[in-house]
Chains A and B, each alone.
Chain A
Amino acid sequence: MRVVDAKGVGKTFGTGSESVEALRDINLTIDPGEFISLIGPSGCGKSTLLRLVGDLTGPTSGELSINGKPASQARSNRDYGIVFQKATLLDWRTVKKNVELPLEIMDIEDSAAADEMLDLVQLGDFKEHYPWQLSGGMQQRVAIARALTFNPSLLLMDEPFGALDEMTREQMQQEVLRIWDETETTVVFVTHSIPEAVFLSTRIVVMSPRPGQISDVIETGLDHPRDVETRESPEYYRKVTEVREALRRQEGHG
């Protein structure tokens, strides 16, 4: 069964002369275990597409099913873990309590889950710290742990490393790949960075603006596990170039 199946999905914000067509005729299928990146110029509807998948907003046309159900059903089944660019941790809760928040809300009794997740993101020593005692990168790792505690089948990430410096960023990419490998979740990942998309993804969805559409889908085909070597391999450079050209082609159109 497909994790994501979008048929002719469109999204228009507002009505009348004020309306903005953010997405038009999106056709996309994602299989279990894939790592999909959405890339494209600002305003091309990447976040909107991610939010449609996560049922944070509804499509105005077309059909969208998640794990074979409507997105709203998937949301009530708690199929989604979401990570935003801002970690948005709760200031008054410790790291561990933050990670336990989804469990509390879902009435899941699993005292080990938070500890496991914090170990997974290598923050086992910071459980009793408060969010503001952590660096930006550490906060984002907490946010990732929080999104994974309840084993969602689909992890949605909207520019999660956008606010991090290059070094931390590469480190986090490595960790996300490791987590993806260990947890077997499907990931949809929004990014502005071509190297990041190539390094992380199994497939890259290239989007073009006004209205947002899918212009190319590129298989990366790089071997797993990926590491520093991968970043220096010729195949990697070739893919980076391919994505860059796909993005440049649409500039010609627009």
Chain B
Amino acid sequence: MEQFLNDPSIYTLVRGPLVWLAFIVFFVGMLYRIFTTLKMAKKEKVIYPYLSFKYTLRSIFRWLMPFGSISMRKHPWFTIITFIFHICIIVTPIFLTGHMELWNESWEISWLSLPVGLTDLMTITVIVCLFFIFLRRLIQKDIRFLTSTSDYILLVLVALPFITGFLSHHELLLQYKIMLTIHMLSGELMLIAIPFTKLSHMFMFFLTRAHTGSEFGAVRHSRDY
């Protein structure tokens, strides 16, 4: 295995075409999911006529603002953890210096990158948060009841790129190149998985909130938060 991962052609594959593939699958998959959902929603007849831009925004705003909803106020710890977690998980990979170099190398694009120390900290934060989320799933009765194996697999799927990224950066556990290959592979795997697993909630969130926000705001004259 180690031999295999050490093979330069594997590295080239993972570093090159697979990245492309992952991004294409991610974006195309996401667009496809959104498109099919919107099309299905049309069939339901009662979705579009009631959509309200104002209340969609209200709903999204409330739920993207820390403690913007009564639900978040009732679950302060979980809210803090999930907000930090979600911010870090999105910001870290996009603004990581290492990634920036790669992007610059391949596509000659770059933007602001965060200091390495900070991204390092954020990576650890993601891992720690994931651990808490995992514990919560395991310990809290009502959540454990809802949980199935796939939920744990998803946690691992999300954790892997961060753990391996951290390890490779600090050249721990395995040889740098190997760890880096695993890191890239797991990152690509996660990207590919997003549109087809529950991770799709990252964009489905906006669609369900548009519907529920409009129903509550424009039709029911009450709050959905």
Whether chains A and B associate is no
Binding site for B on A (CB under 8 A): none
Binding site for A on B (CB under 8 A): none
